[in-house]
Amino acid sequence: MEDAHTLQLCMEHHPETGYFGIFDGHSGSLCSNYISERLVKEVDKLPVFDKETLAKTCLRVDQEFLDEYSHNEDGCAGIFTIAQMKDGGKINIINANIGDSRTVLARASGDAKYTAVSCTEDHKPTDPKEKARIEAAGGCVQAARVDGQLALSRAFGDRQLKTPVSARGEDRKVTSNPDFTEFECTKDDWLLMCCDGIYEGDIFSRQDVIDWVTEKLKHNEDLAVVCGQLLDECLTRGSHDNMSAMIIKFSDGTGYAQDKWEYVPGPWFDGDDAVKFQSAYSADAQSAGYTIEQARALRRKMEAANQK
């Protein structure tokens, strides 16, 4: 698991603004963790959130990562959303995308139904505009990958493809220059942010996943539990990639907050090839104050209750 995420309900210098991000790592987790922790701090320092300044901030933070970890070659895709409360209960969202993770707005359309509105478009090397930039930077697209290596045309990190080094960040083979969309929402809408593991191999389309989550939310208001159910469903449908998901509702969350986090263990897997999984499962349980035996017992209790 090489993903990282950021969830900032109220930014320090912008208390009426929330920041949400998912960073899908590849070849390691150093880049995804660095960007998830550093980018929100730099965005929070900005006096206003104009897209040109946000883009420069992404490029600068990426270059700082490359400079600080000069021998590291992992990278990550990234999406982040800045949600600003406006007068009259409206919410303005600015969505940034670098790579192939996806942000989808669930727009209320009546009768408890929601229309999926795409807030991001995947950055793939085969896209004509992306291919032209890659070739202008001296690269090529082979097997739908940049120089036959990376299936993304935009990413943080990936030092070996951030060339020419002398070129501006936005003009390199692989760039961290984001695309943006902006929407006005109401408290009846909600947002789904996911890495590409949720969509791998057409597991879900954008509308399909919004419909699936909508149905689950009818039976459980706990957004974290529904996110966990979504990841389990993707495993069942055959996803083999990193998976991260975040649901953001534009409503007063004070009644939702709890003094103590609730631990909800996921399914357990045995086998010789599950050693890394079991180690991560154990670490997750311990971070919540459970032994591995207690965590597995709690999982069995949950499964028995669901079968009734």
Percent of the chain with pLDDT strictly greater than 90 = 80
For residue range 75-128, what is the model confidence (pLDDT) as tens digits? 999 999 999 999 888 999 999 999 999 999 999 988 889 999 999 999 999 999
Global confidence as pTM = 0.91
pLDDT of 40 strictly over 80: yes
Longest dimension (CA), the chain: 64
Q: Helices 51-68 & 30-44, crossing angle to 10 degrees?
A: 140
Dump strand ranges (E) for the chain: 4-8, 17-26, 75-85, 91-98, 102-108, 114-118, 141-142, 145-146, 156-157, 179-185, 190-194, 245-249
The predicted pLDDT at position 221 comes to: 87
The residues, ordered by sequence, that sit 6+ positions from 101 with a Cβ below 8 Å of its Cβ are 22, 24, 77, 78, 79, 120, 193, 194, 195, 196
Look up residue 169 and give its amino acid.
G
Tell me whether the omega of the peptide bond preceding residue 267 falls within 30 degrees of 0, making it cis: no
Contact present, 225 and 256 (Cβ < 8 Å): no
The predicted pLDDT at position 242 comes to: 87
For residue range 6-23, what is the model confidence (pLDDT) as tens digits? 999 999 999 999 999 999
Burial class (CB in 10 A: 0-12, 13-18, 19+), 85: middle
Contact present, 193 and 103 (Cβ < 8 Å): yes
CATH 3.60.40.10 domain locations along the chain: 4-257
Query: Which overall architecture, per CATH, does domain 4-257 show?
Result: 4-Layer Sandwich (3.60)
The predicted pLDDT at position 260 comes to: 67
The predicted pLDDT at position 32 comes to: 97
pLDDT band of residue 257 (cuts 50, 70, 90) is low
- Average pLDDT of the chain is 94
The predicted pLDDT at position 258 comes to: 67
